[in-house]
A and B are shown apart, each in its own frame.
Chain A
Amino acid sequence: MQASSHIPHDVSYLDYKGKHKGLLAWILSTDHKRIALLYMFSMMTLFLVGVLLGLAMKLELIAPGKTIMGAQDYNAVFTVHGVIMIFMIVVPGLPAVFGNFLLPIMIGAKDVAFPKLNLFSWYVYIAGAILVIISVLFGDGSPDTGWTFYAPYSFKTGTNMLPAIFGAFVLGFSSILTGLNFIVTIHRLRAPGMSWTKMPLFPWTIYGTAWIQLLATPVVGITLVLVSLERIFGIGVFDPALGGDPILYQHLFWIYSHPAVYIMILPAMGAISEVIPTFSQKHIFGYKAIVASTLAIAFVGYFVWGHHMFTSGMSGTAQYTFSILTFLVAIPSAIKVFNWISTMYKGSISLETPFYWAASFIFVFMIGGLSGLVLGALATDVYVHDTAFVVAHFHFIVFGGVGFAFFAAIHYWFPKMFGRMYDTTWANVGWIVFFIGFLALYSPMFYLGLQGMPRRYYDYLEQFHAANILSTLGSWVMTFGLAIVLINLFRSAKSGPIAGANPWNGKTLEWTVPSPPPVENFEEIPVYGEKDGPYEY
């Protein structure tokens, strides 16, 4: 920190002119806010690729038989859609963008604990993304295993799997390093007087997530290395022909990939826990209960991976144990919902765009979470496992939950990040179109699953036709809404009206610094007094 003491405090991080110019001033910057925007723009690009792949899939499924592509292409499209969306968007998404931008400011720090490591993590992320892109564009055909890389298909298929698997492995390191950075930042750099129980809820969820990133990601890293070794050398860990066990692969994969769902959703819950009090102008209801439920989710989330494997051949004892643990992890999520809704009670609610996104988040998250109960119970899971029902469920959680929270967060913190306000009318129009399209796109998949339509089907029987048409139409409406939202934000970042330091009357520390924040955030490190707190209205 001493070396940078010459940095002026009245220049925003966007205008600051350092050693480098142009693009270099960004890709060589160790400022957590610039790194956050690097992540945001790289993710936005990849996200649009993922969206286009999703649209292609839905168009293919508008009618039985071939519509726009062959089966091999369809299999590659859903694989690459999944790999991009999971490993490059929703897992790193909220921590890398909003965690980076806001965590240091919200706890009253000048930057994260290891700024250079932070920049390095972005490069690792880009390297992983490039590897995956290589696997798609070069070699013997795009990967076609699904994002789960299940053995033994993943080492039997002739497609270009190794770069994709190695890419996911590299992306994991970005996640691990970011997690480590945030844990140290939260432990060491909180403002004087900000005890654990006075830390805002978004940093709390980043904290829970960071531990999962740090502890669970290595498991998938090792697993992916083993799959690669199996492919190259035939080491016989997962290949039944060599005495290996393909079910072992599933265990190892889900030991990471289920907690990964909580990596995605916890920061989303954190963002919602900030938006609702601000727009209700009211203290969050049940602060300690929300913190406890965050930690409970992060902890219990490690022990539920088996519910992905109820039909794959575990012992009966393992099956009902995982079933009951899965039900237990539902409780802290329910507690959060109760507390959010109670925060609105006797509040003074202003209906701004971030609040619309947050309220619709609660709605779609409830659908996602409640449908998870169907998947946690043994008898019902056996019926809907690997059907369109599961696809609907996790899109409600991962896209409904994380996506809606991301848009709530971006509309909430946009004036802080760019110092400008967006057009609220267009923002609201974009929201409602997106929301309607989202429901039309994914709700029919619940019905299809209950009808018995398996997932990852390129073609289907006539009885599944009607619901698929509705779903495809929904995908068009939702993408239209998405376009409105994004165009509005892009235009406003350049030319929107200037926003003040605290346009929403928020009480957390990021609203005490100018918009956009100066390079080192605070001229003087803030001090929390006895009566200060993040939600004292």
Chain B
Amino acid sequence: MYILATPQASNFVSGVDRAFLLILGICFVFLIGLTLTMIWFIYRYNRKRHPQAVQIKGSNTLEIVWTVIPTILVLVMFYFGWAGWKPMKTAPEDSFEIDVIARMWNFTFEYENGKKTDTLFIPMDRPVKLNLKSLDVIHSVYIPAFRVKEDVVPGNDKFMWFIPEKEGIYELFCTEYCGLQHAYMYNWVKTMPQDEFNKWYTDTTVRAAAPVDSPAAAGKRIMTNIGCFACHTIDGNKLVGPTFKGLYGHEVVLKVGGETKTVVADEEYIIKSILDPNSEIVEGYNKGLMQSYQGQLSDTEIDQIIEYLKTLK
């Protein structure tokens, strides 16, 4: 049954769509029935046709009828809503687990073997469990094609699970308002047959190649993965934060407390900006938007980021 204008790609689709079909069906029957009745009364008992009203004060029978019937109907609707939702609450033991790290404003997916991606790659026809962690504010993972949604709450680790049933590429949206770039906090979900997934999953060439990357190339890859470019451009345009273009080695004007000061963006400045971003803010930008990356990046990784920034002249 084609109820929703979205693909049907997980084990939860049938239960959810059945509830939609039932509830929307009941809604339309009531809406159309009552509206037509009302229009008929307005036509039939118009003063022109019916100059003298007949005074009827009520009817206990009718009141009972239209209390009992809706009560039964809402209980039926409740049941179908409950039945479609119940299985979402318990993930099977043998689920394939992936950590989802949400921050303003991107999702990172971390696999057990250390792979990190910004697209969610998942195998088909087996339970996948996403462990949801937020580093800053509340986000929400919403995959319409799978009919699932769960908020990602800081300090409250939660999960969601599903069995992908159709190969394809689907949207994953953040649906809890999380600030400036909320509308751009969406990623893609790619479902693959198990053997194809295994090939992708065990393909460590990307990782193995990393050390032989130039430090600058590695820096760019790291920055893509942790979401720097959601707020900073490399082409001179202004987003939430200042651009990286021509930053390294040049002067920046900072606001500290109520005063401004000018410093040169050297290595020390960049390290401080990554680990303690809110103590000094570049003039013209807002405080509190960037979270510290303390503990999330190694010294080598920070060095690689600096090498990459040096190339953005």
Contact = CB atoms under 8 A, between A and B. Distances in A.
B68 to A, nearest CB: 10
Contacts of B34: 337, 341, 362, 366
A344 interface: yes
Nearest to A370: B27
B179 A379 contact: no
B74 A330 contact: yes
Contact of B20 (A71, A366, A380, A385): A380
A512 to B, nearest CB: 20
A153 B177 contact: yes
Interface in A220-262: 240-241, 243-247
A71 B137 contact: no
A41 interface: no
A430 B12 CA distance: 46
A341 B62 CA distance: 13
The 10 closest A-B CB pairs, nearest first, are A377-B81, A240-B155, A379-B84, A452-B144, A378-B85, A327-B74, A370-B27, A344-B41, A158-B286, A348-B53
Contacts of B180: 71-72, 75, 144
B55 A452 contact: no
A319 B31 CA distance: 28
Contacts of B138: 150, 152-153, 246, 312
Contacts of A323: 78, 81-82
B50 A327 contact: no
Given A350-B47, A366-B30, A153 B178 contact: yes
B115 interface: no
Interface in A86-120: none
Contacts of B27: 370-371, 373-374
B171 A458 contact: no
Contacts of B84: 377-380
A470 to B, nearest CB: 15
A159 B286 CA distance: 8
Interface string A408-423: 0000000000000000
B82 A385 contact: no
Interface string A268-308: 00000000000011111111110000000000000000000
Contacts of A380: 16, 19-20, 23, 81, 84
A376 interface: yes
A287 B88 contact: no
A410 B175 CA distance: 38
Most B CB contacts (10 A, CB to CB) among A156, A351, A382, A450 go to A382
B204 to A, nearest CB: 33
Nearest to A243: B155
Given A246-B154, A456-B183, A537-B55, 19 more contacts: A150-B138, A153-B137, A157-B288, A159-B286, A280-B45, A280-B53, A313-B158, A323-B81, A330-B70, A334-B70, A335-B70, A341-B37, A341-B38, A345-B45, A370-B30, A374-B20, A374-B27, A376-B78, A386-B176
A324 interface: yes
Contacts of B140: 311, 386
Contacts of B54: 282, 346-347
A380 B30 CA distance: 19
B170 to A, nearest CB: 10
A435 to B, nearest CB: 13
A140 interface: yes
A260 to B, nearest CB: 19
Contact of A140 (B66, B153, B286): B286
B73 to A, nearest CB: 9
Contact of B153 (A146, A246, A282): A246
B181 interface: yes
What's the dominant secondary structure at chain B's contact region? mixed
B85 A379 contact: yes
B149 interface: yes
Interface in B172-210: 173-184, 186
B177 A71 contact: no
B179 A312 contact: no
A324 B75 CA distance: 8
Nearest to A328: B74
B297 interface: no
B38 A362 contact: yes
Contact of A158 (B66, B148, B181, B287): B287
A205 B1 CA distance: 42
A363 interface: yes
B57 A341 contact: no
Contact of A153 (B50, B80, B142, B179): B179
Contacts of B136: 152, 156
Interface residues of A, number: 92
17 contacts: A71-B181, A75-B182, A153-B177, A157-B179, A241-B155, A280-B45, A289-B63, A311-B140, A344-B42, A345-B41, A359-B38, A370-B31, A373-B23, A377-B80, A377-B82, A387-B142, A461-B171
A452 B81 CA distance: 18
Given A334-B70, A386-B149, A373 B26 contact: yes
A537 B46 CA distance: 17
Most A CB contacts (10 A, CB to CB) among B26, B67, B75, B86 go to B67
Given A347-B53, A379-B19, A386 B175 contact: yes
Interface string A331-345: 100110111011011
B59 interface: yes
A460 interface: yes
B57 A349 contact: no
A457 interface: yes
B142 A283 contact: no
A504 interface: no
Nearest to A387: B175
Interface in B22-62: 23-24, 26-27, 30-31, 34-35, 37-38, 41-42, 45-47, 50-59, 62
Nearest to A289: B63
Contacts of B63: 286, 289, 335
Contacts of A457: 182-183
A339 B15 CA distance: 35
Given A281-B53, A344-B42, A377-B81, A456 B156 contact: no
Nearest to A350: B47
Interface in B115-132: none
B166 interface: no
A76 to B, nearest CB: 10
B92 to A, nearest CB: 16
Contact of B45 (A150, A338, A348): A348
Nearest to A533: B57
B5 interface: yes
Given A371-B27, A378-B81, A380-B20, A351 B42 contact: yes
Contacts of A288: 58
Given A245-B156, A313-B153, A381-B81, A346 B35 contact: no
A84 to B, nearest CB: 18
Contact of A377 (B77, B148, B154): B77
Interface string A432-453: 0000000000000001001110
Given A330-B74, A334-B70, A379 B16 contact: yes
A456 B71 CA distance: 34
A307 B138 CA distance: 18
A282 B54 CA distance: 7
A346 B19 contact: no
B99 interface: no
A447 B144 CA distance: 13
Nearest to B75: A327
B256 interface: no
